[in-house]
């Protein structure tokens, strides 16, 4: 049996007719940028997250960097980010000229370690970016206390957590502002690039709305040196369709994960720590083992594709050589990069495929 790491086919077969109709609708309308469809998607996604404002943009990286710009965070400022995340979280900080300050994650939850944040705060710290890594909400209540005590903005990187719920609230509604990505492989993905900023802060909302569109609220009147980072009408229509199915698709992933959690019983493998399987929307199902590379080869030899999230921690990437870090500086991120393995997980996996993966793992 061959099982890809990600397979969008079941999802895209289900909505094929709706998507093609949406394509025709926009194609015939001949209006492609910042029209009714973008406005409708922004309304619908804001409502879904129960947040006052949604401002769409070109991608998740831009969403984060535009939020930072909206808060006037830049040169001379510091922003705390977890050391184990996709590099975009750190790049957003670098893009605005601020300094990235890493904090190691908790090895159990993979999210930023609450107990290590205080040590990283200085006079220059302006914000914490809490990443809901692999779909599991970060421990926001505790991060909120730290932010309040130190007058910091709490920014969510929700690029892996569309629809995840923390204490009854959806991600996107847990901080001062949140950045989402609609990269096709995310739980809510466009058919190309896309992103969004969510916030209840009207001042920020107005400012980021201008920044994403050349810094202009009124055509040819430019208040800020903005950027061109817009969601287009096509992608907005595709996302409106997919948003209707998001809860169903997330529930299907949760059901697959329930089987993984119940049935993977190989003692060489550490399965994810959980309170309840419903707390995460499982963008990624991350197992750990000391013998990670051997396991990856074993699965590969049996037709099962896996990925590592992430093989090189950001502080050891060539792009961040200027920060002067060396191996050993963020031990948990390094341990994860050496032991983590992400199993196939996508909407529409069959019982057969799931059981084949479980059996292949248990026989190893
Ligand atoms: C995907 C991702 C991003 C960036 O999103 P893009 O749309 O690819 O720019 C940012 N942060 C995290 C945690 C991500 O997984």
Does the pLDDT value for residue 276 go beyond 80? no
List pLDDT tens digits, range 207-242. Answer: 999 999 999 999 999 999 999 999 999 999 999 999
Residue 61 Cα to ligand 1 midpoint, Å, equals 6
Q: Tell me the pLDDT of the chain averaged across its residues.
A: 97
Smallest CA separation from ligand 1 atom 14, residue: 159
Confidence (pLDDT) at 33: 96
**Which ligand 1 atom sits nearest the alpha carbon of residue 283?**
15
List pLDDT tens digits, range 304-343. Answer: 999 999 999 999 999 999 999 999 999 999 999 999 999 9
Confidence (pLDDT) at 279: 83
User: Which residues are part of the catalytic machinery?
Assistant: 186
- Domains of the chain in sequence order: 8-240 (3.40.640.10), 245-363 (3.90.1150.10)
| N-to-C CA span, the chain | 17
Lowest-confidence range among 16-30, 188-202, 277-291? 277-291
Smallest CA separation from ligand 1 atom 6, residue: 60
Q: Is this model's pTM higher than 0.95 or not?
A: yes
Mutate-to-test residue for ligand 1 from 57, 60, 194, highest number of ligand atoms within 8 A of CB:
60
List pLDDT tens digits, range 45-87. Answer: 999 999 999 999 999 999 999 999 999 999 999 999 999 999 9
**Which ligand 1 atom sits nearest the alpha carbon of residue 62?**
9
Residue 186 Cα to ligand 1 midpoint, Å, equals 9
**Which ligand 1 atom sits nearest the alpha carbon of residue 193?**
7
Mutate-to-test residue for ligand 1 from 90, 131, 181, 284, highest number of ligand atoms within 8 A of CB:
181
Q: Is the dihedral of CA 103, 158, 295, 318 positive or negative?
A: negative
**Which ligand 1 atom sits nearest the alpha carbon of residue 182?**
7
Confidence (pLDDT) at 275: 77
Query: What band does 141 get if pLDDT is binned at 50, 70 and 90?
Result: very high
In the chain, DSSP assigns E strands to: 53-57, 78-82, 99-103, 125-131, 153-157, 165-166, 169-170, 177-181, 195-199, 216-218, 221-222, 285-288, 340-343
Lowest-confidence range among 147-151, 277-281, 348-352? 277-281
Gyration radius (Cα) of the chain, Å: 20
Residue 58 Cα to ligand 1 midpoint, Å, equals 11
| Nearest one of 328, 333, 327, 343 to 270, comparing CA atoms | 343
């Amino acid at each position: 049996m061959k099982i890809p790491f990600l397979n969008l086919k079941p999802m895209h077969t289900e909505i094929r007719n709706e998507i093609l109709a949406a394509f025709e609708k926009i194609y015939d309308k001949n209006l492609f940028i910042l029209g009714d469809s973008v406005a409708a998607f922004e309304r619908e996604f804001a409502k879904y997250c129960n947040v006052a404002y949604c401002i769409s943009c070109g991608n998740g990286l831009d969403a984060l960097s535009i939020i930072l710009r909206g808060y006037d965070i830049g040169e001379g400022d510091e922003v705390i980010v977890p050391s184990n995340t996709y590099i975009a979280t750190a790049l957003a900080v670098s893009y605005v000229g601020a300094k990235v300050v890493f904090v190691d994650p908790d090895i159990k939850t993979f999210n930023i370690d609450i107990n290590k944040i205080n040590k990283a705060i200085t006079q220059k710290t302006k914000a914490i970016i809490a990443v809901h890594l692999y779909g599991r909400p970060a421990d926001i209540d505790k991060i909120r206390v730290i932010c309040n005590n130190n007058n910091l903005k709490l920014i969510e990187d929700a690029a892996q957590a569309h629809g995840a719920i923390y204490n009854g609230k959806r991600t996107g509604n847990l901080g001062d502002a949140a950045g989402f990505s609609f990269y096709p492989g995310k739980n809510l993905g466009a058919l190309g690039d896309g992103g969004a900023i969510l916030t209840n802060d009207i001042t920020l909302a107005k400012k980021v709305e201008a920044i994403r569109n050349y810094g202009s609220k009124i055509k040819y009147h430019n208040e800020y040196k903005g950027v061109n980072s817009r969601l287009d009408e096509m992608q907005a229509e595709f996302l409106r369709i997919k948003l209707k199915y998001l809860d169903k698709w997330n529930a299907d992933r949760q059901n697959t994960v329930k089987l993984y959690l119940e049935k993977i019983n190989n003692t060489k493998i550490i399965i994810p720590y959980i309170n309840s399987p419903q707390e995460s929307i499982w963008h990624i199902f991350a197992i750990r083992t000391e013998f990670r590379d051997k396991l990856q080869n074993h699965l590969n030899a049996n037709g099962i594709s896996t990925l590592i999230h992430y093989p090189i921690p950001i502080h050891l990437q060539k792009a961040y050589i200027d920060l002067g870090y060396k191996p050993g500086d963020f031990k948990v991120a390094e341990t994860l990069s050496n032991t983590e393995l992400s199993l196939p997980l996508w909407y529409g996996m069959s019982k057969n495929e799931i059981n084949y993966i479980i059996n292949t793992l248990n026989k190893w």
